Chains A and B, each alone.
Chain A
Amino acid sequence: MIPVECYFALSALLFFIGVYGFTTRRNLIAMLISVELVLNAVDINFAAINRLLYPNGMEGMFMTLFVIGVAAAESAVAIAIIINVYRKLKSDSVEAIQNMKR
């Protein structure tokens, strides 16, 4: 059996890779992928902690499935936005859409 620390280590690794990617990449698609990494890190945490603390319960698992569903919807919306931004600005760089502040 794999020790639970390994799950946490993987999750932390994924989380920080995601955060790093989100803050450093300029490409919108890459940023979106980074967000997905963060979400997956959270999913792993849910599943692992559920197994660790409440082996008979399934709530953590359900939450994981739920997050996957929401993430799918979110990425669909995000990609739609990115495509529109690209069509309008001919760029997929995050710096191109700074005029959103107005």
Chain B
Amino acid sequence: MFGYTIFIMLLPLLSFIVLGLAGMKMQHKVAGLIGTCSLGMVTILSYITAFQYFFGLDRVNGVYQTFVPYNFTWLPLGNLHFDLGILLDPISVMMLIVISTVSLMVHIYSFGYMHGEKGFQRYYAFLSLFTMSMLGLVLATNIFQMYMFWELVGVSSYLLIGFYYPLKPAIAASKKAFIVTRFADMFFLVGILTFGYFVDSFSFSFAGDIVMGQGTTPFIEGNLAKAVAAGGFIIPTALVLMFIGGAGKSAMFPLHIWLPDAMEGPTPVSALIHAATMVVAGVFQIARMFPLWIEYAPQAMSIVVWVGVITAFYAAAVACAQSDIKRVLAFSTISQIAFMMVALGVSLPGHHGAILDNHAQLGYMAGMFHLFTHAMFKACLFLGAGCIIHAVHSNEMALMGGLRKYMPITHITFLISCLAIAGIPFFSGFSSKDEIITACMEYSPVVGWIMTGIAAMTAFYMFRLYYGIFWGTENKEAHAHHTPHEAPLTMTIPLIVLTVITVGVGVYTTIAGFAEWGGSFGSFVSAAGTDYTIHFNMQIAATSTVIAILSICLATYIYKGEQQPIADRLYATFPKLHRAAYKRFYQDEIWQYVTHRIIFRLVSTPIAWFDRHVVDGTFNFLAWGANEAGESIRSWQSGDVRQYAVWFITGSVALTLILLCI
């Protein structure tokens, strides 16, 4: 019944091939239309799938069933086999909605943003490639397929970051992104192979069959029991290795260094890849492997929690000091993804062992919910930043200020998205972030309060950004030279659509949360696949709202005015702290030191010497030997036929004599 889902993946692939092969012969408009139309169809199909999946099917025992409309063996390898297919379950269907919506908005937006850009067709081709890979990642039926598409999104991200390849920083950024994520993916691969070797399966089949909260034993294809018996550490080790891969893709500390630099790419790409979809692949991976985490590695979940907490705090602190608007958004993205990680990490099983109680479900649901809402409002923020950069031709906040008069639509949508990320009730970020903090509080009050603090920092730096762009001191000099103007319709419509989603989801889920209605996000996506009713803990909701409003007020007080005496005084009082935060607490320098001074000098240099002298030497010697041998027998070929004849006859006589003697 989900046979058409194959087209969700084939259409972007087709448009990638068409645009990639024939794009250069097309006009910009035609190429853009092809990409956008195929994405439009994908979006419609995704919505149909979601509607049919969530509303057209009956739940069995209150649980959404997993569907596998396609699955074929691609490469059999003894007991193991690599499969390709499509798997539909609540999280993959939810991701379909997120990816196709944001991707469609970005496609439309790019018409305006990339207008007249050289390589417009190439840009759309890569966008299609990315969308196809990301859809393949979330629809994967097994870890190996997921890994394949995981690498494909890495490649498309690399290609799109380096879109402006004549510019040096773009090339450096794309290389950095690729190398850092590849480094992390190495661990992912080792994890997959460890898992596959011991469990004899790459399949996700546990995901649908495990019925948590129902008390049934989870079933998994292959020899999980054997692997568990062989040593309880194998599954946790494999999962933690996979998590390192996920941490690389999702820019968790200390593998986050590539994401801020990735902002060198075109802004719509940052919105699509580096805010809404690809960077949440790590979160999605943990959600996908969640039954295994819960069942076999509950202790290891604390790694996820603490990595998330550290990242969230670090990124929020750095975001407070950045001056490049896209960098602020990048660090905010890192921080928000860390929120999702923490939410998944805190979903520990309760006292009933593997059976998920309500509180464990909460974290999982909250993480997925935040993924959904964050994708929408962060895409909106990035696209808004794109409009601003389009108008001002710079990323620096110093050149902005007072833009609210010139760009009303961008201003309003940006403000609403800022309110959403800050966690103000009736905006979507509130519902999801509040659920995360509630889950954290139940896990441990320490984590809960740290996360509340980070949420306050989020509100603060987002409004610092907002006031820095739209209020504050107007840079009259720069604006007189080139008056900022509102972006064209193709760019403002996606902003409006995303804002409407943010507000719509926010209003509905807030009311549903307070009124304890069913039919909110938790009814569709939850750890056990059951209907989970979101209900806010009033105490926590009130606390976080008050804290968010206080931080917004603080930001308003400090940054709204034309003059900013408090900010200046703070800056004068803590110049070192500001500088450290501005320099991202020297993380890049530390990596630079570790890689260049330690790894390159102590490991790579000897290896390079060995390669150049021993390996190359061996082959050079062989080549030299062959050359010398050739040179020495070359004179035998004189071209004198009679000489050849003499040699021939002498040889045959000699051979005859030898044969006669034997």
Q: Which residues of A does B touch, CB under 8 Å? A: 19, 22-24, 26, 31, 94-95, 97-102
Contacts and interface: CB of A to CB of B under 8 A. Distances in A.
Given A31-B641, A94-B640, 6 more contacts: A22-B645, A23-B645, A26-B642, A97-B639, A99-B639, A101-B639
Contacts of A23: 642, 645-646, 649
B638 interface: yes
Contacts of A24: 642
A51 to B, nearest CB: 24
A41 B640 CA distance: 25
Contacts of B639: 97-102
Nearest to A102: B639
Nearest to A95: B640
Contact of B642 (A22, A100, A101, A102): A22
Interface string B607-645: 000000000000000000000000000000111111001
Interface string B324-358: 00000000000000000000000000000000000
Nearest to A24: B642
A94 B644 CA distance: 12
Give the most central of B638, B639, B646, B649: most A CB within 10 Å.
B639
A98 B638 contact: yes
27 contacts: A19-B645, A19-B649, A22-B642, A22-B645, A23-B642, A23-B645, A23-B646, A23-B649, A24-B642, A26-B642, A31-B641, A31-B642, A94-B640, A94-B641, A94-B642, A95-B640, A97-B639, A97-B641, A98-B638, A98-B639, A98-B640, A99-B639, A100-B639, A101-B637, A101-B638, A101-B639, A102-B639
Top 3 A-B pairs ranked by shortest CB distance? A101-B639, A98-B639, A101-B637
A95 to B, nearest CB: 7
A26 B642 CA distance: 8
A94 B641 CA distance: 7
Interface of B: 637-642, 645-646, 649
Contacts of A102: 639
Contacts of B645: 19, 22-23
A77 B414 CA distance: 89
Nearest to B646: A23
B634 to A, nearest CB: 10
Best-surrounded residue of B638, B641, B649 (most CB of chain A within 10 A): B641
Contacts of A100: 639
Nearest to A22: B645
A23 B649 CA distance: 10
A3 B49 CA distance: 102
A98 B637 CA distance: 10
B205 to A, nearest CB: 68
Contacts of A95: 640
A98 B639 CA distance: 4
Nearest to A19: B649
A13 B646 CA distance: 18
A79 to B, nearest CB: 16
A101 B649 CA distance: 20
Contacts of A97: 639, 641
Contacts of B646: 23
A34 to B, nearest CB: 9
A4 B248 CA distance: 93
A87 to B, nearest CB: 19
Nearest to B634: A101
Contacts of B641: 31, 94, 97
Contacts of B638: 98, 101
B638 to A, nearest CB: 7
A31 B643 CA distance: 13
Nearest to B643: A23
A24 B645 CA distance: 10
A101 B641 CA distance: 10
Nearest to A25: B642
B305 to A, nearest CB: 76
Contacts of A22: 642, 645
Contacts of A19: 645, 649
Contacts of B642: 22-24, 26, 31, 94
A97 B640 CA distance: 8
A42 to B, nearest CB: 13
Contacts of B637: 101
Nearest to B640: A98
A63 to B, nearest CB: 20
B649 to A, nearest CB: 6
User: In the complex, which of the residues A19, A23, A31, A94 has the most CB atoms of chain B within 10 Å of its own CB atom?
Assistant: A23
B175 to A, nearest CB: 48
